Amino acid sequence: MARKISMKQAINEALDLEMRRDPTVIVLGEDIVGGAGAPGEIDAWGGVLGVTKGLHAKHGNRLMDTPLSESAYIGAAIGAAACGMRPVAELMFLDFMGVCFDQILNQAAKFKYMFGGKAKTPVVIRAMVGAGFRAAAQHSQMLTPLFTHVPGLKVVCPSDAYDAKGLLIQAIRDDDPVIFCEHKALYGSECDVPEESYAIPFAEANVVREGKDVTIVSYGLTVHRALEAAETLAKTGVQAEIIDLRTLSPIDWDTVIESVETTGRLVVVDEANPRCSIAGDVAAHVAQNAFGALKAAPQMVTAPHTPVPFSPVLEDLYIPSADAIVAAANKTTARALAA
Amino acid sequence: MNERIKPIVMPKWGLSMAEGKVTGWLKSAGAKIAVGDEIVEVETDKIAGVVEAGDTGTLRRVLGAPDTVYPVKALIGVIAADDVPDEEIDAYVAEYAAHAAEAGDEEEAGPRYEFVDTPAGRLRYARRSQTGGGDGARAIILVHGFGGDLDNWLFNIDTLAEAGTVYALDLPGHGQSDKAVKDASLKGLSEALIGFMDALDITSAHLVGHSMGGAVVAQTALDQPGRVSSITLISSAGLGEEINRDYTDGFVAAASRRDLKPVLEHLFHDPATVTRQLVDDLLKYKRLDGVDAALKALSSALFPGGRQSAVLAEALKAAPTPVLVIWGESDQVIPAAHAAALGDRARVDVIGEAGHMVQMEKAGRVNELVLNHITA
Amino acid sequence: MTNNPFPLPKDELLAAYRTMRTIRDFEERLHVEFAKGDIPGFVHLYAGEEACAAGIMSHLTDVDRIASTHRGHGHCIAKGVDVHAMMAEIYGKATGACRGKGGSMHIADLSKGMMGANGILGAGAPLICGAALAAKFRGDGGVGITFFGDGASNQGTVLESMNLAAIWNLPVIFVVENNGYAESTSVDYATAVDSYVDRASGFGLPGVTVDGTDFFAVYEAAGEIIKRAREGGGPALLECKMIRFFGHFEGDAQAYKAKGENDYNRTNRDCLKIFAGRVTSAGVVSAAEIALIDREVAALIDEAVGQAKGAPLPSARDLLTDVYVAY
């Protein structure tokens, strides 16, 4: 039955259920148990923010703490996947892809194609994304576009606990490599989540709010900013339809296009930097495929073309705000921002 | 509180409902109101419905503004006799608001969800105690249809509780009951229902079944006549061979909102009843592990190749149990012509402007018919 | 019957020779065919290094996994990948081992435990740790062998993997194929230690250096460390010092080599000649038996080249398939 749990709990539950269901599922990463080899308690951390806490007691050595060697253990997860396991490797912060990208880019993503279809690599790489934690330039980036660019990878970024559980279960059962992006600012957010297992198919966007005037497309944390913006817009009579992409590769173009065909207006909100971003991708796709439906130029609300700053005053300016989304929507409707 | 003044409040349809939106008033201020009259349309994030009058009088105040959201139990209108002075009504409204503010933690008025372990697995059910001071000795059990759940009785549970203790269960494979269906035949489902009655010490009950649930309660009446006081068959399976394969197969196959929505539109007279939230909730159910297997097992056992495998009409004609048959005239899933299958043996009502989900679309009329049947 | 002084029975000696001869002929023939311009892309030849692949792979079955390098043909052949499918792949044909989508640098056959030649130097080391981890979870006794050159030995992935294999006690063998050149750069210039055994020691791994032109030296050293790994004794390193007859890739003028270096090696350090000389002079194998294998292999390679040349090219639709299992 459903009860309210946080996204953090939902991810933990998805891992637990899948490890129970399938003995080939293993979980590895830095400090995912915590305290390995140390004199104190085992499961001391359960992940740097406690997402995997408690799983070691249930599944023992199927959870493995790794040395700080991202290339080695991400690569090992990929190698094990090619040999019949379903590893879930935690990269902690997606920013750390810099030290292991070859294994993702040139190995996991390529095996299937490069070996003429004769390999499969069912690996999941979980990692935190996003700003808002005052964690500065190397622990806060929304690097989703770097992965959506790569054929062979799937990229997922849930915006709530229900989706996180169902999408992670799908990611584990999926036969392709999946980059599973968890926005750290959403770990505490709660919603109704069934206790049972369920899988949400990829490439199915979620229309989180219906509206007829402007389509706002987003994913992850900024879905919630878009919802705030929609409340403000509603007060001025503008009904915004909000689409949560949920998976960025594959992506549900149909839902986006159908919505724009109704509203004629598009705002894309992306916490990634603007160049070659999800926002740019969606705007270009809509311009190319639904140009006739557009009543105004598509608007992009993104982070600026800067690294993520540290000082809270700067970081708050960095993340796309509800006000910026309202302004962009008003630009498409040519209505003044309500005072 | 002034006893001559009766409130119309935002109803609570199901445990998860916290608020609802007034979409339109069907009666104007000053209108004469009889019990059961449809007064105001309310929409939740799940379903649109109509609030019916529980009292007689004049609609003295229309408080709920259209397109405005109110919390459950908020006062949205007032019914009183014509001779109640306006000042008293204004005082009532003011007092109601103050009272509501104090009574934050008041006990839930709606049905409670519970679970019970049975030989057919763990089953969820809603239990609603008898209202209006009855002893609750009479048991009324509501059995939903294929792919449904106990929330299909959202608009019936409270009203039917006037006649006894109401139970609405999730059949195996459905709602929040165990998803494994150990025996997908009609007999198997009927045994699950008997197991449910055994587990709750219900010796006998009035059984109300919708669609596939109708066939289940009919089978139960045939197999265990001593435990079945009456049956009500609503848009019921088991009365003829035809069933709309586009619906049954479509429901099983649909894996996305885009696929499911047109399938669900078969269920209602007014396709606009199928809200995004209704589709999402059913998708969430369909995506639970085990549901797909359960639906496929039931579908191939009960309506293989688009025909119903069990037709119980002749057997029912010979059985002693009182039968009420209700159908929605524009049912697109099981033809309304099946309503005549029992001939004179049953009381039959075919309701206009209603589809397969007649108990939701015309809840007031259905409730009235069922109450009369049960208490006859 | 002649007394057999070798660690392998006669039939296995013949099989090992056939493997080495197949690799040699495969590579020599590619050298010729590449020059004709019929073969697209880069080709890196394993000729001269056959004893290493054959000596190690003699101890493996399909349950054991190997991760290869850009110079992977020899590993493939020794691991049992079909020669016809390999040749067709190198010609970019639809009948190739990878349906023409991988080419020389990406030949793989997971059913044979061959996890792929690899265009990224040192990338196989983490992958083989994963293969060994999977074998450990399955309890199937499989081991993982990762090959890398003296050049790739300086990749962080290799060093990280040695540590990971050591702390997890994985059944992994790190094989350094030290042919003296990282592309054109000498090992003496690019690697700060004299012996890779010293590198292994740094991670608490046992290591051994052998003459990679001596099949028997490779065979015996590999046998010992593979057996140890299979029995749960953990990872080890094997350095094979060997000779690359050709350049880094086909078309490499090899100006960085010493004058006469290739000729000297061909004459004095050819692992096939050394092997054939030893088994025939010991009287275990006859010259006629060697000659028969030579003829059979020559015919096989002829046939493989003929078939590859005549095989169909991939169709346009193949461009878009095999990216995902499902998308």
Nearest-CB residue to C325 (from A24, A103, A112): A112
Identify the pLDDT of residue B112: 74
Cβ pair A82:C67 closer than 8 A: no
pLDDT above 50 for A117 = yes
**Every domain of chain C and the residues it spans:** 10-320
Contact at 8 Å (CB) between C87 and C43?
A: no
Which of B67, B289, B292 has the most A C-beta neighbours within 10 Å, making it the best mutation to test the interface with A? Answer: B289
A192: nearest CA partner in chain B: B16
Q: Which chains touch A (3 or more CB pairs under 8 A)?
A: B, C
Average pLDDT, chain A: 96
Which of C66, C86, C91, C129 has the most A C-beta neighbours within 10 Å, making it the best mutation to test the interface with A? Answer: C129
DSSP character for C8?
S
Q: Give the SS3 label for residue A304.
A: coil
How many degrees, rounded to 5, is the angle at CA A243 between CA A239 and CA A247?
175
- Quick one: tokens of C101? 């989508």
What average pLDDT score do residues C252-266 get?
95
Q: Which residues have CB under 8 Å from C296's CB, separation 6+?
A: C18
Contact at 8 Å (CB) between C323 and A152?
A: yes
Instruction: Compute the radius of gyration of chain A from its Cα atoms.
Output: 20
Q: Which residues have CB under 8 Å from A297's CB, separation 6+?
A: A332
* CATH fold for domain B5-102: OB fold (Dihydrolipoamide Acetyltransferase, E2P) (2.40.50)
What average pLDDT score do residues C309-324 get?
97
Q: Which chains touch B (3 or more CB pairs under 8 A)?
A: A
Q: Does A77 contact B at CB distance below 8 Å?
A: no
Can you name the residues that pair with B70 across neighbouring β-strands?
B20
Question: Which architecture, in CATH terms, is B112-375?
Answer: 3-Layer(aba) Sandwich (3.40)
pLDDT above 60 for A335 = no
C125: nearest CA partner in chain A: A72
Closest CA to C285 of C297, C276, C274: C276
Question: CA-CA distance, B78 to B80, in Å (whole number)?
Answer: 7
Structural domains of chain A, with CATH: 7-194 (3.40.50.970), 206-333 (3.40.50.920)
- C159 membership: H or E segment, kind and range: helix C156-167
Question: CA-CA distance, C3 to C155, in Å (whole number)?
Answer: 46
Q: Give the SS3 label for residue C246.
A: coil
pLDDT tens, per residue, chain B with 376 residues: 577 898 998 888 766 678 888 988 999 999 999 887 889 988 887 777 888 887 889 999 999 998 888 988 889 999 999 999 999 999 888 888 777 656 544 444 556 789 999 999 999 999 999 988 888 889 999 999 999 999 999 999 989 999 999 999 999 999 999 999 999 999 999 999 999 999 999 999 999 999 999 999 999 999 999 999 999 999 999 999 999 999 999 999 999 999 999 999 999 999 988 988 889 999 999 999 999 999 999 999 999 999 999 999 999 999 999 999 999 999 999 999 999 999 999 999 999 999 999 999 999 999 999 999 999 8
Q: Classify domain C10-320 at the CATH superfamily level.
A: Thiamin diphosphate (ThDP)-binding fold, Pyr/PP domains (3.40.50.970)
Identify the pLDDT of residue B100: 67
Question: CA-CA distance, B83 to B4, in Å (whole number)?
Answer: 10
Cβ pair B287:A200 closer than 8 A: yes
What residues of B are in contact with residue A1 (Cβ under 8 Å)?
Answer: 113, 115, 124, 176
SS3 content of chain A, % helix, strand, coil (to 5): 40, 20, 40
Nearest-CB residue to B287 (from A166, A192, A210): A166
**Every domain of chain B and the residues it spans:** 5-102, 112-375
Question: CA-CA distance, B240 to B313, in Å (whole number)?
Answer: 7
Identify the pLDDT of residue B106: 45
Can you name the residues that pair with B209 across neighbouring β-strands?
B143, B233
Chain A closest-CA separation from residue C85 CA (Å):
12
Closest CA to A114 of B119, C115, C281, C213: C115
Question: CA-CA distance, A302 to A320, in Å (whole number)?
Answer: 6
Cβ pair A116:C102 closer than 8 A: yes
Q: Does A175 contact B at CB distance below 8 Å?
A: no
Chain A closest-CA separation from residue B51 CA (Å):
25
Q: Which residues of A are catalytic?
A: 139
Confidence of residue A338 (pLDDT cuts 50, 70, 90): very low
**B–C touching, 3+ CB–CB pairs within 8 Å:** no
- Quick one: tokens of C120? 């990224």
Helix count (H) and strand count (E) of chain C? 12, 7
Identify the pLDDT of residue B95: 85
pLDDT digits (tens, 9 = 90+) for C79-111: 999 999 999 999 999 999 999 999 999 999 999
Nearest-CB residue to A196 (from B16, B113, B289): B289
C-alpha atoms less than 13 angstroms from C-alpha of A212 in its C-beta half-sphere: 1
SS3 for chain B is CCCCEEEEECCCCCCCCCEEEEEEECCCCCCEECCCCEEEEEECCCCEEEEECCCCEEEEEECCCCCEEEECCCEEEEEECCCCCHHHHHHHHHHHHHHHHHCCCCCCCCCEEEEEEECCEEEEEEEECCCCCCCCCCEEEEECCCCCCHHHHCCCHHHHCCCCEEEEECCCCCCCCCCCCCCCCHHHHHHHHHHHHHHCCCCCEEEEEECHHHHHHHHHHHHCHHHEEEEEEECCCCCCCECCHHHHHHHHHCCCHHHHHHHHHHHCCCHHHCCHHHHHHHHHHHCECCHHHHHHHHHHHHCHHHECCCCCHHHHHCCCCCEEEEEECCCCCCCHHHHHHHHHHCEEEEECCCCCCHHHHCHHHHHHHHHHHHHC
pLDDT digits (tens, 9 = 90+) for C207-250: 999 999 999 999 999 999 999 999 999 999 999 999 999 999 99
Question: CA-CA distance, B78 to B6, in Å (whole number)?
Answer: 6
Question: CA-CA distance, A138 to A128, in Å (whole number)?
Answer: 12
Contact at 8 Å (CB) between B40 and B27?
A: yes
What residues of A are in contact with residue C327 (Cβ under 8 Å)?
Answer: 154, 176, 203, 250
Contact at 8 Å (CB) between A167 and A250?
A: no
Q: Which amino acid would we find at residue C29?
A: R
Identify the pLDDT of residue A339: 38
Cβ pair B179:A196 closer than 8 A: yes
ipTM of model: 0.95
Identify the pLDDT of residue B12: 80
Cβ pair B176:A201 closer than 8 A: no
Cβ pair C163:A176 closer than 8 A: no
B284: nearest CA partner in chain A: A198
Chain A closest-CA separation from residue B166 CA (Å):
21
* CB neighbours of residue A219 within 10 Å: 32
User: DSSP readout, A95-132?
Assistant: GGGGGTHHIIIIIITTHHHHTTT------EEEEEE-S-
Cβ pair C125:A118 closer than 8 A: no
- C66 membership: H or E segment, kind and range: strand C65-67
Question: CA-CA distance, B85 to B83, in Å (whole number)?
Answer: 6
Chain A closest-CA separation from residue B362 CA (Å):
27
Chain A closest-CA separation from residue B288 CA (Å):
4
Chain B closest-CA separation from residue A255 CA (Å):
9
Q: Which residues have CB under 8 Å from A219's CB, separation 6+?
A: A144, A157, A159, A244, A245, A246, A248, A270, A278
Identify the pLDDT of residue B102: 61
Question: CA-CA distance, B126 to B156, in Å (whole number)?
Answer: 12
Cβ pair A198:B289 closer than 8 A: yes
Instruction: Compute the radius of gyration of chain B from its Cα atoms.
Output: 21
Contact at 8 Å (CB) between A28 and A66?
A: yes
